[in-house]
Amino acid sequence: MPARKTNPDFMTGVPELLILRLLSTREMYGYEIVQAIETASGEAIKLGEGVVYPALHALEEQGCLKSRRKPVNGRTRVYYIATAVGKKRLSDLTGEWRRITDAVAGIVTGAKHATV
């Protein structure tokens, strides 16, 4: 009852942003993304597979990603990469992310907003 949060602070929308960012450069598969984010964030962000797979499916359905199956060592991987739509989306999301975080930083840092 000490307020157990299932949707942790400051994480909403972050998975989508990071996934689009990673896939805007090169082709990757789900399991790889999970670990890439963990590594690239210095362990600060760990996305479960329950976040990544549904996100990939949703993004593909929206036309932001396209996928292809590729057999590797007898095992099949599903590789995703961002489409033009996905890159546009990434650009929009990045701008939104900056807008919000800059605004929050301004207030939290006490910089108020100038001699008000």
Site of interaction with DNA (CB under 7 A): 3-8, 11-16, 29-32, 47-51, 53-58, 72-78
Among 92, 9, 6, 81, smallest CA distance to 45 is for 9
Q: Is 91 near its own copies (CB under 8 A)?
A: no
Comparing CB distances to its own copies, the nearer of 24 and 67 is 24
21 binds its own copies (CB under 8 A): yes
Residue 55, φ and ψ in degrees, nearest 5: -65, -40
**Residue 102, binding choice from DNA, its own copies, none, Cβ under 5 to 8 Å by partner class:** its own copies
78 in helix, strand or coil?
strand
Q: Closest by alpha carbon to 20, among 47, 49, 56, 57?
A: 56
Which does residue 81 bind out of its own copies, DNA, none, counting CB within 5 to 8 angstroms by kind?
Answer: none
Is residue 82 within 8 A of residue 65, CB to CB? The reply is: yes
Residue 28 carries which side chain, given as an amino acid letter? M
Residues of this chain that bind its own copies (CB under 8 A): 3, 7-14, 16-18, 21-22, 37, 39-42, 44-45, 62, 93-94, 96-97, 99-108, 112-113, 116
